[in-house]
Chains A and B, each alone.
Chain A
């Protein structure tokens, strides 16, 4: 099933510049229902208080990392089905394997292009 342009997306990143880039790229790809969180804990709270269809998260964040948030999402009955895309500078193979084992839906290495984001969305929502 292709991605619904009206789906509600949560971007989780401690860097305001990265949140804005991801938001801009998603907007160019036709998605406009986008919310933001500054770290994993903030993201988890938002996910529990409102319904989201898709999460784009960084790895390295203060308070709660992206990988810890991912594990918390997968351990939560209400949230575990939400697709989570990690967009991260953690470009070591062990990080990717760790993310896959934690249940990531796909993984983008920074810096990335709009085409890469589009391709990953197509794979997640095929």
Chain B
């Protein structure tokens, strides 16, 4: 019993030293923790700025693309009118050449539409950036709580932690491997009677 008590006393001593060392380590890391938690809002702000910048850039490309689309539409109508006149004047060779030019203009119109739809990358990027900003906010709150709990910051207010970061991270991770393609979506729709 005496021997057992001595062993327990030693175990408690070891545990106390471990806790003391851990507290010292956390205390030493305090300035870094405080610094990191202070930098995170800036990082979030930079990410939000990225969204604004990509949105502005995308809108400008859209504006220019729509201008070209309008001009293509005008050129197409003009060419059609000239072709009809040439056909009535029996200038079939010239009309054919203009017809092929008109076909090219029409093809370019399709490319312009493809440029527009390709710009949907901005929406996908913006949604991911919003999730990352939420995650950073959550991490910052947790760091602040560590700072407050271990007394690394005086008079720190208690931080309310919401459990969204893990959920959002999971969403981001899932979308890497299980994101559905249109073909799979169509197969499922077909199973529900969408033909």
Contact = CB atoms under 8 A, between A and B. Distances in A.
Interface of A: 15-18, 20-21, 24-25, 28, 60, 89, 91-93, 96-97, 100, 106-114, 116, 123
B126 to A, nearest CB: 6
Contact of B59 (A17, A91, A108): A17
B180 A91 contact: yes
Contact of B180 (A28, A96, A100): A96
B1 interface: no
Contact of A25 (B113, B181, B184): B113
Nearest to B195: A123
Contact of B62 (A20, A97, A108, A123): A20
A113 B185 CA distance: 15
A93 B180 contact: yes
Nearest to B118: A111
Contact of B116 (A16, A24, A106): A24
Nearest to B56: A17
B121 A91 contact: no
Contacts of B124: 89, 110-111
B180 A114 contact: no
Contacts of A16: 55, 59
A113 B114 contact: yes
B72 to A, nearest CB: 11
B123 A96 contact: no
B22 interface: no
A93 B184 contact: yes
Contact of B185 (A17, A96, A111): A96
Nearest to B126: A15
B179 A91 contact: yes
A94 to B, nearest CB: 10
B60 to A, nearest CB: 11
B49 to A, nearest CB: 16
A16 B175 CA distance: 23
Contacts of A123: 194-195
Contacts of B123: 15, 17-18, 21, 89, 110
